[in-house]
Amino acid sequence: MERPWYKFYPEGVPRSIAYPEIPLHGLLERSAATFPESVAVISGESGYKLTYRELDKLTSCFANALVSMGAAKGDRVALFLPNIPQFLIAYYGVLKAGCVVTTISSLARENTLLFQLNDSEAETLVVYEHLLPTFLKVAPSTTVKRVFVTGEELSRPSRLPEGNFYDLGATLAKYPPESPKVKINPKDDLACLQYTGGTTGTPKGAMLTHFNMVSNTIAFSTWIKCKLAEEVFLTVLPLSHIFGMTTSMNAPIYTAGTIVLLQKFDVKVVLETIQRYGITVFCGVPTMYALIVSSPETQSYNLRSVRCCISGGSPLPPEVQKKFVQITGGVLVEGYGLTECSPGTHTNPVDPTTKSVKIGSIGLPWPDVDAKIVDLESGSKTLPPGEIGELVIKGPQVMLGYWKRPEETKEVLRDGWLYTGDVAKMDEDGYFYIVDRKKDVIKYKGYSVYPREVEDAIYEHPAVKLCAVVGKPDPIAGELPKAFVVLKDGAQLTAEELINFLKERLEPYKLVREVEFRRELPLTSAGKVHRRLLREEEFSKSSK
C-alpha cells in the first residue's frame, strides 16, 4: 500500500513506534517513579495540587478498596465526575484493580445515565456529590451495588444516603498505597468501555484495550513532540470524553507533564488560566478557539506560552485557525479521531513555520496508522487521490468492537479496517480532508451539499461567532440547506446580507435557503455544536 504522507512527516517523528506492552496505568507508575515530586495535576478552580507520588499512591489506595469490596477483574466501574483531581484517582485506580473504566458525561440526564449503567452492567459508581441526585432518581433500576461519593475537595466528607454509599476520601485513607498488582494482558484486556456520542443512533460502547490506549497516547505525544516533565496542559475538554481523556490526561501523565483542570469552558477563566500557569499545550474543539478569538477580553492577556494546540471533534474553520495563531504565536492545527480509535488517527504536522500545515485538512496519518478512501456504495474499491469516498482506518488503536453488539461490529470492522462513516478525500501528498459525516450530507435537488463547506464560508463573515448548517425537509427539493447563526456581541447581520456574502464563495446549489439567528446553539458535552439536535428540530417541524 502506497503511503505518500511519510514524505511530510515532521522531523523526529518516526513512521513506526515500538509500543511497550504495559497496562495503561503503567504510564502513571513510570512517571511517578521518575518524577515523584513533579506536580501531576492542579485543580484550576480550587488550586488543589497532587504530585506524581501522591497521585500514584491514591490510585493504589482506590484499587485496593475496589478489590477488597469485591470488584473482580473485568468488572465495569462507572465514573460520573467532572474535571476534578478525583477523576484521575478513580480512573487509574480502577485500572490498577484490573477493572474497566466507563465514563459518563457530567451533563448526562437520567435516561442517558440509566442506559449506560445498565448497558455496561456497571456494579460500581464513582459520583460527584452534586450529581448524586441524578443517580438517586434511577438507582433502583440499575445494576449498581456500591457508590463512592466525592465533593469538591477530597478531604471534605460528603453527606451520604443510607446503604452502600461510601465517602471516597475516607475510603482512600483506609487502604494501603501499594498497587494490588493484578495481572493484565494489554492486548486482550479492556481498559475502557467508551460510549460513542450517539450521533448515528443509540450509543454503543467501544471496547478499548490497554494497548489501544497506550499506543494512541504515545503516538500523540510523539507527534506533538512533548518535552518530558516540561509541558503544562490545559485540560478543559471533559475527561469523560475520549478526546480529553487521551490528549489531556493520558498524554501528560505519560510525559510527566502538569495537568491544569477546568470543569467548564469559560473564556475569561481560560484566558486567566493560560496566563497564570504558562500553558504550553491546549487541546480543544473549534467552538473553544472560535470563542477565544472573538472575545474582546483576549487582547488583555498574554497567551504567548502556548506552544501547541490541537483542534478536533468537528471541523476547524480556517479563519478561526489563522486568528488564533496570530494571537498566541503558537501552532494550532486540525486533527481527527473517533471513539473507536482511542481516538486519534490524523493530525497536521506541528510545524511553527506552518510550511507543512494544510489549512482545512485533518493532516497526515499518525505512525503505524494506515488510511485510505473507499467508494461510498460498496466500500470495497480504493479510490485515487482527489476522489470523495469513505475514510477507513487500520492501526494499533482500533477498538476490539462494540460491547454486546456483534452485528454493528461487523458493519464497521471489515478485513481489519475500521469504516468511519466520514466522507473524505486524500490529496496527492497524503493529506486527508473530511468532507462531512455520511449522515449529515444534505441532498438538495439531487446534489450533495456538505455542511462543513458551507459553515467554513459562513465563518469567514466577521460578524459570525458560531454557526451550524443542516438540511430542512422540503417536498420539492428534498432538503434545503438552513443555517443557524450566533452573532458576535454588538454585531448586526441580516439573512439577506449573509446569503449575498455566501453567493461570492459558494456554488448556487450550496447556498443556504434560510438563516435563523439565535443567542446560542446546543453544544455536546465535548463542546461541539450539536448538529443532530438542530436537524431533529427541523424534521419535527416538518412532520407536524
Distance CA 5, CA 12 (A): 15
Answer yes or no: do 425 and 486 share one domain. no
| CATH number of domain containing 122 | 3.40.50.980
Answer yes or no: do 463 and 336 share one domain. no
- The answer to whether the peptide bond before residue 133 is cis (omega within 30 degrees of 0) is no
What is the pLDDT of the chain when averaged over all its residues? 93
| pLDDT, tens digit (0-9, with 9 covering 90-100), for 371-398 | 999 998 899 999 999 999 999 999 999 9
| CATH number of domain containing 417 | 3.40.50.12780
User: How much is the pLDDT for 200?
Assistant: 42
Q: Mean of the pLDDT values across residues 210-221?
A: 98
pLDDT confidence band for 202 (50 / 70 / 90)? low
Answer yes or no: do 53 and 189 share one domain. yes
Determine, yes or no, domain membership for 535: yes
pLDDT confidence band for 543 (50 / 70 / 90)? low
Determine, yes or no, domain membership for 407: yes
Angle ∠(161,45,154) on CA atoms, nearest 5? 40
Say how many domains are in the chain. Answer: 3
Answer yes or no: do 428 and 462 share one domain. no
| CATH number of domain containing 516 | 3.30.300.30
The region of weakest confidence among 6-20, 286-300, 530-544 is: 530-544
pTM of structure: 0.85
C-beta contacts of 48-51 below 8 A and 24+ residues apart:
48/85, 48/153, 48/154, 50/85, 50/88
Q: Which H helix or E strand runs over 314?
A: none
Instruction: Give the torsion through C-alpha atoms of 459, 461, 467, 472, to 10 deg.
Output: -110
pLDDT confidence band for 197 (50 / 70 / 90)? low
Answer yes or no: do 35 and 89 share one domain. yes
The region of weakest confidence among 52-61, 82-91, 306-315, 440-449 is: 440-449
Answer yes or no: do 335 and 422 share one domain. yes
User: How much is the pLDDT for 399?
Assistant: 98
Answer yes or no: do 426 and 453 share one domain. no
What angle, 0 to 180 degrees and rounded to 10, lies between the N-to-C axes of helices 26-34 and 52-68? 140
Tell me which residue of 505, 391, 421, 410 sits closest to 457, measured CA to CA: 505
Answer yes or no: do 73 and 108 share one domain. yes
Determine, yes or no, domain membership for 490: yes
Q: Mean of the pLDDT values across residues 234-259?
A: 97
Domain that holds residue 522: 441-542
* Residue burial 427-446, b: 16+ Cβ < 10 Å; e: rest: eeebbbbbbbbeebbbebee
pLDDT at 201 over 70: no
User: How much is the pLDDT for 259?
Assistant: 98
Distance CA 66, CA 96 (A): 10
User: How much is the pLDDT for 198?
Assistant: 39
> Is the CB of residue 238 less than 8 Å from the CB of residue 82?
yes
pLDDT at 293 over 50: yes
Determine, yes or no, domain membership for 214: no
Q: Domain boundary residue among 382, 416, 437?
A: 437
**Residue 78: all three cell numbers together:** 462507572
Distance CA 114, CA 261 (A): 27
